[in-house]
Amino acid sequence: MKMGDTPTHPIDQEPIWIDEAYVTKILNSYTNDKLSEVKSYTKAPATVKGENFVGALYLLSVEYVTKPGTEAQSTSFIIKTRVDNEIMSEIEEEFNMYQREAQFYTAIMPQIYELLNTIDDHTVFGPKSIYVDERIIVLENLRPDGYVHGDVKTGLDFPHCQLILEKLAKFHAATMILYKRNPELFSNHLPGNVSEHPSPHHDLYTNLIKSAIEYCKTQPNLQQYLPKLETLGEKIIPKMINVFSRNQADRFHVLNHGDMWVNNILFQYDKEGELKTVRFVDYQEGYFGSPGIDWNWFIFSSWKVVVLKNNFTKLLEHYHTTLADLLHKLNYQLRIPTLDDVRKEIVNKGYHGLVTATCFLPILINEQEHLSDPSNFLLNTEEAIENRRIIFNNPKFGLRLEEFFTFFKEHDIL
């Protein structure tokens, strides 16, 4: 695979190509060309194994001065580049993930904010972009402001889900307006995230559904679903291609974040520990299509089961109210989606939720971090198959899956 001049690196090694000249470029952009001197800088991995598969994140800490003789200032940034894994790099390149994210930060996000400012709405969706080139995306570090991740192994409760969906509704609504004005703005986000072209992505889906079926065979409470799961396994690639398609059955389209799960969501709390706000990161899988894509991935990767059982309708209504209200305020000229439209988009893209719950949830809640290497999900060696078996044999996975299957059955998805 050809990667051009773009470096890729293991997440547990510092990127040696980030040198003083590169740090100077970043700081010049950050200070609006007022940088006088780089005093010092350090770089280190910003994630641990298993947290990020198609991107490598590094923490860059710097000390600098803008005027000679003045006291040094300090700050830190998150640097994102491609991960050093040939197979994952092939997936990243096939779907232009870097270009999608770069386009989002340099063009789409600024226009979202400009649009919202017209109605005095100052919602912030993600970190600020500091510097972007063909190699890296440099972002503000939100950690010093108290932003933290939730726990994917326990799932998110109702207040967290409600706050996320309120912000996601605003994000979706703003992109509906922008697409109507300038579809070309989303040119990198129109190709689907699964294609007909054979790729490691196909191997990923095929391997994981086989592991899910194997696990369900060992669980008496899940065996009743085996015939339909086996049918899904035979058709999983065309089913997922259909998920990432725009067709006449879709009620409306938005820019999906594309990877809306706990590790891509940062929360800020006040001094009393009450939830204050939320921001989204990792926009590399953005796709312009049905909002059911974001909904299904978010629900079945990140919600507590009790939230789905008791609060699904309430959260659906909150999202729709926020979406419709913002579209009204922004004078959207097309038909404003109804509550039923939103519900049908979730159900119509329900196979995305089913695949999320059966194939990807075990990876997301995996407690065997040493097995998080992408090769364990993409290869069919004896070692990889056994490692998948270990990851899927997780009682927490089985408990969630049983409840999720009830939802899929009730909505004729399974």
Q: How confident is the model at residue 290 (pLDDT cuts 50, 70, 90)?
A: very high
Give strand pairing partners of 139.
78, 129
Q: Report the interhelical angle of 200-217 vs 226-243 (nearest 10°).
A: 160
Of 293, 298, 325, give the one whose Cα is nearest residue 312.
298
CATH number of the 143-410 domain: 3.90.1200
pLDDT at 294: 98
Residue type, 317: E
Residue type, 288: F
Please say if the pLDDT value at position 102 is more than 70.
yes
The stretch 284-295 carries a mean pLDDT of 97
Please say if the pLDDT value at position 99 is more than 60.
yes
pLDDT at 198: 84
Of 314, 329, 257, give the one whose Cα is nearest residue 290.
257
Of 385, 362, 360, give the one whose Cα is nearest residue 375.
385
CB atoms within 10 A of CB 169: 23
The CA distance from 99 to 106, in Å, is 10
Q: What's the mean pLDDT when you consider all of the chain? A: 91
Alpha helices in 31-153 (DSSP H): 86-94, 97-103, 109-117
Give strand pairing partners of 59.
44, 78
Burial class (CB in 10 A: 0-12, 13-18, 19+), 126: buried
| 99 CB-near residues (< 8 Å, 6+ apart) | 188
Given the structure tokens 């991960």, which residue do they identify?
A: 83
Tens digit of each residue's pLDDT (9 = 90 or more) over 106-155: 999 999 999 999 999 999 999 999 999 988 999 999 999 999 999 988 99
CA R_g for the chain: 22
| 256 CB-near residues (< 8 Å, 6+ apart) | 172, 286, 287, 288, 289, 290, 291, 293, 294
The stretch 265-285 carries a mean pLDDT of 96
Give strand pairing partners of 256.
287
Q: Does the predicted TM-score (pTM) go above 0.85?
A: yes
Going from N- to C-terminal start, the domains of the chain cover 8-84, 143-410
The CA distance from 228 to 358, in Å, is 12
Tens digit of each residue's pLDDT (9 = 90 or more) over 171-192: 999 999 999 999 999 999 999 9
> Residues 404, 308: contact at Cβ < 8 Å?
yes
Q: How confident is the model at residue 10 (pLDDT cuts 50, 70, 90)?
A: very low
> Residues 89, 276: contact at Cβ < 8 Å?
no
Please say if the pLDDT value at position 329 is more than 50.
yes
Q: Return the SS3 of 316.
A: helix
Q: Return the SS3 of 304.
A: coil
Please say if the pLDDT value at position 367 is more than 50.
yes
